[in-house]
Chain A
Amino acid sequence: MLRTTLGLAAAALGISAIAEPAMAQNEQFLPALVYRTGPYAPNGIPFANGVADYWTLINERDGGINGVKIVFEECETGYATDKGVECYERLKGKGPTGAGYFSPLSTGITFALTEKVPGDKIPLLTMGYGRSESKDGSVFPWNFIAVGSYWTAADVAIQHVAKELGGFDKLKGKKVSLVYHDSPYGKEPIPALEARAKKDGFDFKAIPVTHPGVEQKSQWLAIRQDRPDYVLLWGWGVMNSTAIKEAAAVAYPREKMIGVWWSGAEPDVTPAGDQSTGYKALLLQHPGGKFKVHEDMDKFVISKDKSAGKDTFGQVLYNRGLINSMLGVEGIRTAQKKFGNKPMTGEQVRWGFENLELSADRIKELGFEGMLKPIKFTCQDHQGADEARVHQWDGKAWKIISDYYKADLSLLDPMVKETAAKYAAEKKITPRDCSKES
């Protein structure tokens, strides 16, 4: 018995000793924290596929970023924070220049890594999730909450409700409930919704659902009793489809439900079948479907069988993975303009993100026209855009039903500033003076 145990241990040690194959010097290492298992896997898989496929596309079509090949490695986190931290430590130093940037796709892991990245000098690209106040780049130099925060989402959702009701004045006295995943992710929108409730005079109620969200009977019974005019859904993974099924069970109209952009993809509605028809969700700008970039993707990745998972090709979350990688790659490209066409360190990539500007022309050139509006980061603004649309599931596909809404910055920006200042005080951070940054 002992011998076997020792033998196993020795084998394991030996294996780790021969690890680390030599890596060419002209390669950019990019880590991917993914979850392809666990209760959030239905949503984690398409995103991870999109992320990987775009990097493959850059290598196959362009031969890398300005000739620098992308090497990437996935690490399974299972959406667990401690596993995410382990993965981060495992991957951060790989490749000739270390990890370029991290995108954990988990609010919990983002919170934990926010504490670690300033020490390791690696930027965090958290597209549409993470700390809402990390929009303030003077306090959070390493976080890039690209395209939208939960506060943007909350504000846009209420704007859409107001539009359906026929104006902001109609909101007065109405009831809006938020069914949320009981974690930092789900709690993030609450301050923004409370602020909106105060401003517009509607009655706001927050209803928590415990992780992982398969048990929601009592929450929906409460909704049946209370009959709110609208229900906002802040779920992830199995929680979303369960919520839709429970809504159907208590006959709450799906047309009156609006999900955040993490509750509005194919894996959220298909398990509930016909019951999902009419359900609405926000769009993080881009819809599902196929665009110009997908033609290249088809030619260079899918048809050559190099895709990480082609069954998710063109889905909402797959496309979000593409955009996530595209922003990352463009950030590196921007950094290369300053530092030369070689692999970038995390610190250089951070500079690249901060100076990243994607004009409408550039977005068209990249094949993302119709998926993304122009975006520009600055030292102060690490979000770059505050607009979103709404789409609706018609039983077969997602249909865009609204125009772009711009979040009410007069309401949100002071909140960002205040919360970021509180964080800075707690962590004894002296905010950068952005007027002096080049």
Chain B
Amino acid sequence: MLYREAGQFKTTYAADMAVFPIRQDRMALYLLLAVAFIGVPLFAQLHIWPFGGDYLIRAILVPFLILALAAIGVNILVGYCGQISLGSGAFMAIGAYSAYKFGTGVHIPLEWLGSEISIPPLPLVASILLGGLMAAFVGVLFGIPSLRIKGLYLAVATLAAQFFFDWVFLRVKWFTNYTPSGSVNAPELSFFGWIVHTSTERYLLCLAFVTIFAFLAKNLVRGNLGRQWMAIRDMDIAAELMGIRPLYAKLTAFAVSSFMVGVAGALWAFIYLGSWEPLAFSIDRSFQLLFMVIIGGLGSILGSFLGAAFILILPILLDQVPHALGIPISVETVSLLVFIITGMLICYLLIVEPHGFARLWSITKEKLRLWPYPY
């Protein structure tokens, strides 16, 4: 009854091709954006529960947004283009370390030429975006094997990226500016003279990035490029016969995906951790991102958000339940229980709905259209 598009006539081509053609969807999105951009900071300023302390914003919303952005990136590659990648952690690391290098100034001594390449420290946004670009570049390089190998074999090839970059950032001291411990600190987060340090400011910065990139991704996947990716995913030989160049389609998917994952990596390092080591972007991170995409829904931007929420927030919530209820069980039992329950829920979800949360959401929408008179 509420969710029905009857009577919404589209009188222009623009309206017909809108990202969200149904009015209710648009309203919901505007409302969500208003809550995210205005509501949350306002509640935080006014100390309205649960936004009063820093906890919700700093420990849940910020990592959720960043991982959702990374999940969108992975979803473009795995969900839309069908190229399984286990190297997402590495691309996050490339984004983080390149952004760090650009943020603190790059010096490459070229001794045989008797000169050096020297770039002064760049501002925050520029270094984060350049971090993404570096990740995109490396992503294309590691995407080249995808032209010859497919499926699980490709997953193994991208695994090489993961281990290679773990090794590079541990061993090549140039990337860490020769710090004795190999751990690096994010430079000052200044954004056109505005220095980001409160939790609300950090949140808004992440939110801005995520919103822009989510819209970008949503538009990309329904355009020419996105259709090429999906054609390649569904049947690459047929796509090729139809005139889609696999080289172009696959490598653009790798580039766009790695760019977003790289930006997410830079944000994760700069905004969430503040100081990091390669372990922050280990193979576990790659798996975590892949699971987010699978549980959220392959080939869905919304699914990336839902998957990120499920994988990141559910364990944190479960972890706090016994303490909040005053049940006296030790922390080790709780953390083991969290593993067990989260694992069981993942199995259950995938059995009940193998297409993930995004599919559940579209079923809900279908049912809502008929409600309250289903036939």
Binding site for B on A (CB under 8 A): 1-2, 5, 12, 15-16, 18-21, 34, 36-37, 41, 73-76, 78, 81-82, 85-86, 89-90, 92-93, 107-108, 111-112, 114-116, 119-120, 131-132, 182-185, 187-188, 190-191, 208, 211, 419, 423, 426-428
CB distance from B84 to the nearest CB of A (A): 25
Binding site for A on B (CB under 8 A): 50, 53-55, 58-59, 63, 104, 170, 180-183, 185-188, 197, 272-277, 279-280, 282, 316-321, 323-326, 330-332, 334-336, 352-353, 360, 363-364
Tell me whether A111 and B63 are in contact in the complex, defined as CB-CB below 8 angstroms, given that A34-B331, A93-B54 are known contacts: no
Q: Which residues of A contact B185 (CB under 8 A)?
A: 111, 115, 423, 426-427
22 A-B pairs in the complex with CB atoms less than 8 angstroms apart: A5-B360, A15-B321, A16-B50, A36-B330, A41-B332, A76-B319, A81-B280, A82-B272, A85-B272, A93-B54, A108-B279, A115-B185, A115-B273, A115-B275, A182-B170, A183-B279, A187-B181, A191-B180, A211-B279, A211-B282, A426-B185, A427-B185
CA–CA, A428 to B189, complex, Å?
12
List the B residue with the shortest CB-CB distance to A78. B335
Tell me whether A37 and B274 are in contact in the complex, defined as CB-CB below 8 angstroms, given that A12-B317, A107-B181, A187-B181 are known contacts: no
Say yes or no: B182 contacts A85, CB within 8 Å. no
- The one of B58, B63, B319 that contacts A82, using a Cβ cutoff of 8 Å: B63
CA–CA, A359 to B319, complex, Å?
42
Tell me whether A93 and B55 are in contact in the complex, defined as CB-CB below 8 angstroms, given that A18-B324, A76-B334 are known contacts: yes
Say yes or no: B188 contacts A427, CB within 8 Å. yes
Q: A2-B363, A183-B279 are in contact. List 15 more A-B contacts (CB 8 A).
A: A5-B360, A12-B318, A16-B321, A19-B320, A36-B331, A37-B335, A76-B331, A82-B63, A85-B272, A90-B59, A111-B277, A112-B275, A114-B275, A188-B180, A190-B180
- The one of B104, B324, B326 that contacts A16, using a Cβ cutoff of 8 Å: B324
CA–CA, A111 to B182, complex, Å?
11
Q: Which residues of B contact A85 (CB under 8 A)?
A: 59, 272-273
Say yes or no: A81 contacts B279, CB within 8 Å. yes
List the B residue with the shortest CB-CB distance to A118. B197
Tell me whether A93 and B326 are in contact in the complex, defined as CB-CB below 8 angstroms, given that A16-B317, A16-B320, A37-B332 are known contacts: no
- The one of B58, B279, B325, B326 that contacts A89, using a Cβ cutoff of 8 Å: B58
Q: Which residues of A contact B320 (CB under 8 A)?
A: 16, 19, 90
Q: Which residues of A contact B280 (CB under 8 A)?
A: 81-82
Say yes or no: B55 contacts A81, CB within 8 Å. no
CA–CA, A426 to B332, complex, Å?
39
Tell me whether A15 and B55 are in contact in the complex, defined as CB-CB below 8 angstroms, given that A76-B334, A107-B181, A112-B276 are known contacts: no
Q: Which residues of A contact B170 (CB under 8 A)?
A: 182, 208
Q: Which residues of A contact B334 (CB under 8 A)?
A: 76
Say yes or no: B273 contacts A82, CB within 8 Å. yes
Q: Which residues of B contact A188 (CB under 8 A)?
A: 180-181
